[in-house]
Amino acid sequence: MAEIEHFVDPEHKEHAKFHLVQDLKLPLWTACSQEDNLPVKNDLSLKQAVEEGTICNETLAYFMARTYLFLRACGIREEGIRFR
């Protein structure tokens, strides 16, 4: 894997291409789920996750989606991926 350093205006964390991935559902293992030993959530769209604060902002959600799509294109099964 790799790491990206993407600078964001702290007052405007929207991403121009977020609308392209907002309906994608990623395997999310939230902090609360980890603490309570609950399973990974697969039923939350990125738009919902941003709206409820599970993911901090659109820019972060956009790059999570890009990472997920890259991993799937490489042949990694969904069961082998989770975002914390």
In a domain, 6, yes or no: no
In a domain, 70, yes or no: yes
Can you give the pLDDT at residue 71?
Answer: 94
Q: What DSSP string describes the chain?
A: --------BTTB---TTGGGTTT-B--B--HHHHHTTPPPB-S-BHHHHHHHTSSS-HHHHHHHHHHHHHHHHTT--GGG--B-
Q: What is the pTM of this model?
A: 0.87
Looking at the structure of the chain, the number of domains it has is 1
In a domain, 13, yes or no: no
Token reading at 11: 């007052």
Can you give the pLDDT at residue 1?
Answer: 61
In a domain, 64, yes or no: yes
In a domain, 4, yes or no: no
The CA distance from 47 to 24, in Å, is 8
In a domain, 16, yes or no: no
From first to last of its 84 residues, the chain has per-residue pLDDT tens of 667 788 899 999 999 999 999 999 999 988 778 788 888 888 899 999 999 999 999 999 999 999 999 999 999 998 889 888
Cα–chain center distance at 75 = 19
The parent domain of residue 47 ranges over 21-80
Can you give the pLDDT at residue 50?
Answer: 96
